[in-house]
Amino acid sequence: MKKLFIFTMLSFMFVLFSQTTADAFGLFYTNSTYPVTATGNEVKDLSALKKGTSHSTNILFLVEVGDAGIDTAAKNADIKKISYIDVNERMVFIFWRKVTVNVYGE
C-alpha cells in the first residue's frame, strides 16, 4: 500500500511539473524570458518599436485567469506589423504562476 501511494504521488508530480512551458524551469522558482518567434520583418531601430503585453495568472494549477494571447498583446499597443515575440514566465513552486507575452512591432 505504501509503495502504491508513493508511486501515485510521484506520477502526480511528474504530470503536474511536465505542464510548464518555460525553456528554463526551476523546481521551486522560475523567472525566465525566452523568445517565441521572429517574423523576419526588417527592423531599423529597436527603440522605435511599440511593445504590447498580455498576461495570465495561475493559482495552485487549479485556477487560471487572463488572456496571454499574441493577438491581445498586439491590440493593446495597436501593433499592426509584428516583429518579434517574447514570453516571460514567473512561477513559485505550484502556488503561483504568471505568463506575460510581449509583442514588439509597428
35: containing domain:
2-105
When divided into structural domains, the chain yields a total of 1
What are the grid coordinates assigned to 31, written together? 523567472
pLDDT in tens, 46-70: 778 889 999 999 998 889 999 988 8
Residues shown for the chain: 106
What is the reported pLDDT for 39?
73
Rounded to whole angstroms, the Cα distance separating 37 from 49 reads: 16
C-beta contacts of 54-57 below 8 A and 24+ residues apart: 54/100, 54/101, 54/103, 55/98, 55/99, 55/100, 55/101, 56/98, 56/99, 57/96, 57/97, 57/98
What pLDDT, in 10s, does the model give residues 64-100?
Answer: 999 988 889 999 899 988 888 989 999 888 789 899 9
